Amino acid sequence: MRLLAASDLDQTLVFSERSAARDVAGLVAVEEYEGRTISYVTPRAWDLLRELLATGDFVPVTTRTPAQYARIRWPAAPPAWAVCANGGVLLLDGRPDAAWSAQVRANLAAARALPEVHAVLARLAAELRALVPGSADPAVRSVEGLFAYVVLREGQRPPLEGARLGELTALLDGWGYGVSLQGRKLYAVPRALTKSAAVAEVVRRRGAAGFVAAGDSLLDVDLLLAAERGWRPGHGELLRAGWDDPGVVLVHDTGAAAGERIAEELLLAVR
């Protein structure tokens, strides 16, 4: 029986100008927002993704909202299945699956209500603004009523790292939430909301034997551990945290080159 290939997108397969680690003039634009290109892949990764899409066994997995995910441009018809909102939304042919959404809501019933978490993050945002004179308010956003995150402004990440982040992590852990700091975004996500559960549902419905996976952040750990095989790039939150697992291969390339290598490994695994 075949395996599916499930992969995180940002900083795993697609990259911003800042994270690409090379001149983007030679890269393929895969996302436009407000009139400018914000995500890229290498030309070879573009070709590999075309081949991967042709297998019908590729499942993008992201913390993005469905609307943010829809901005991604593919080299062929988009994948039939996609996981958005960190596993909270399962898309089939671009539409949310109602049965999965109901299951997710039931799974999250034991976690602290999201408005309370949002309020904690709002207080943190005000604190960070005061600590960095002249900085703008960090934006606090909720995603699909499932989890929340803070978009940090210039200079606001350093005051957050260390003891303050530890205090926040401890508080939200007691509420059933995990905390992940990725670039300029600080996420608070219910522990019961996982990418791996959504991918397992796709595996079940497709009648596949399992899946291989790739990811770069702490929000990808459950996905990587549940996979038959996994890959992580030579950059990102997992690397900074010193996370490791014998079943997950560290790709020593960084930036867009790592995305190219991961696309190649995913394609080889499902062929």
Query: Taking the alpha carbons of 209, 215, 220, 222 in that order, is the dihedral positive or negative?
Result: positive
Which token pair is 89? 């939304």
Candidates 50, 15, 35; CA nearest to 266 is 50
Q: Say how far apart CA 229 and CA 211 lie, in whole Å.
A: 8
- Residue 234 pLDDT grade (very low, low, confident, very high; cuts 50, 70, 90): very high
Question: Domain residues of the chain, as ranges?
Answer: 3-107+204-270, 114-190
Q: Say how far apart CA 31 and CA 246 lie, in whole Å.
A: 34
* CB distance 229 to 209 below 8 Å: no
- One-letter amino acid of 194: T
Q: Say how far apart CA 81 and CA 195 lie, in whole Å.
A: 13
Which token pair is 181? 């700091």
- Residue 183 pLDDT grade (very low, low, confident, very high; cuts 50, 70, 90): confident
- One-letter amino acid of 68: Q
Model's pTM, two decimal places? 0.93
**Residue 173 CB contacts under 8 Å (≥ 6 apart), including other chains:** 179
- Residue 225 pLDDT grade (very low, low, confident, very high; cuts 50, 70, 90): very high
**CATH code of the region 3-107+204-270:** 3.40.50.1000
- C-beta neighbour count of 54 within 10 angstroms: 13
pLDDT tens digit string along 101-114? 999 999 999 999 99
Query: Taking the alpha carbons of 258, 248, 47, 206 in that order, is the dihedral positive or negative?
Result: negative
- Residue 150 pLDDT grade (very low, low, confident, very high; cuts 50, 70, 90): very high
pLDDT tens digit string along 13-28? 999 999 999 999 999 9
Rg over alpha carbons for the chain, rounded to the nearest Å, is 18
* CB distance 229 to 6 below 8 Å: no
Is 135's pLDDT higher than 80? no
The class (CATH top level) of 114-190 is alpha beta
pLDDT of amino acid 153: 87
Burial class (CB in 10 A: 0-12, 13-18, 19+), 162: exposed
pLDDT tens digit string along 74-127? 999 999 999 999 999 999 999 999 999 999 999 999 999 999 999 999 999 999
* CB distance 11 to 37 below 8 Å: no
Rounded to an integer, the average pLDDT of 197-204 is 98
